Structure 1
């Protein structure tokens, strides 16, 4: 099989296309023929490591997310999985077997059925885009002190959600899931083009923070403050967020796009309003929270409530397997939309 690996940390140039034997699944594993691989920031950050030149043994196959067809099962895995279309998440977390390959090995706990969409068959682009961004977004929308633990129609009715960076992958996922769950959604963006994407995803109010006073505009729309903030850049926005919160609200941070190791939290404001500052990393989520997210995403797929492409505010960028380095570079440079590799 053709597969992409890296044997040392470094820039995109350490990725190489090679041939390996098709692997056999061990206990609790399935072999998936990968039809799409989703590229996330984790992929290039893991490849870069803490600096170039550190050996990686055995050579790592990158790619946490993907979609494809189950073609073999290991001991303890029901044969009913054979031939099913699936989406895969966290394939390479603390494992060699990522999705940037024609075939990969996946733990049974890290894949789910991918429903077909009529005559078009399974939407592999969508399946490969789910994993890390959508599970992260699900967690961000379900850690409020008053819940809900699950998403779906009506579960966020009466709640107001502010998504920072609504044109990003997680921001887009949060908007789509919040829309499915009947929240009122505000989002901030940095350009009119990104605003159009956020609106396509389902945001009710789009605020260009380079042209508009965000604090004044949010307070105009929601005088009582927002219930949930899904935050991509806490270093820059913590002070702003603190002034936009309703009593009992939560600010959920899933990234540190602003750089730096520390965030200044407005203490007195947070105390008076009894608000929560929550941090999320998908790889270390509680197993129960992750399982709820996977179940809810399955329901959203069946409802046709989530999607990818321009119509859903998430443009797609396709690369062949031999251009895995360029695909990772595109994500590292901040490509707007979802980068996918087609083995």
Structure 2
């Protein structure tokens, strides 16, 4: 996959299947759009798949809006790597004043040579958001593309949207967040050397300082996995300020892995964290011994979570195998 910032750096001459949006979180609804353009490329190998996302940071700064995001740009690239041909970052301010039909003519047709345009039913674009799916449908014949409008994805009675995911995130229900996203909530970062308190009490941790723009669930303990040294390791993590052993300050992700023996070698390494399950709120303990007892309980609960998950998958596989034999 090629990650390109700005339309001026896109040089592909082939026709494309393209989808557009903010794609904050790449939730289940977004996934349907991406999968659809991938299907077009599978059927027509001469096409290129393009995901074009509008980068809103500068616009939000200018409007003094909340800049917190479910997904950082590098995390989006990690999620789409190996799936699409191009991930295009379009600074929203560069197209904010462009008339909707001009966007169709200059960008979708002229630049992307779009043969298929895949969008959600609420997609809007162009100056004052005047462009919509009706306009895209109207100009199909003139500009030679086929429009596909993908219906909203629902979870119960709610439309799956970045706004809904953010609402759930505030409650700490990471299990539901993951169901809405269709993958574990992801935080990319770099391991930084800590004070070594975890090793002193028998539970070494890796400290990760998340980007300030990254939306985090409430402070507390979570079941997690960490990708480091090209392997995934199970563990538990605390999100917060370590109130028992520090005076507070920045939010830190302190990760303890069950079976990782090279913690000291991890400093400075880029890692990817997956959150799976909320265990408890962060709290300040009376002393280190009380903290150690709680960490032991967290580790037990974390291992239990992964064991139950594995058993559930095994039971599902056995059930599916029995059904196939009957058929």
Q: Normalising to structure 1: TM-score of the pair?
A: 0.28
TM-score, normalised on structure 2? Answer: 0.29
Higher relative contact order (CA 8 A, sep 6+): 1
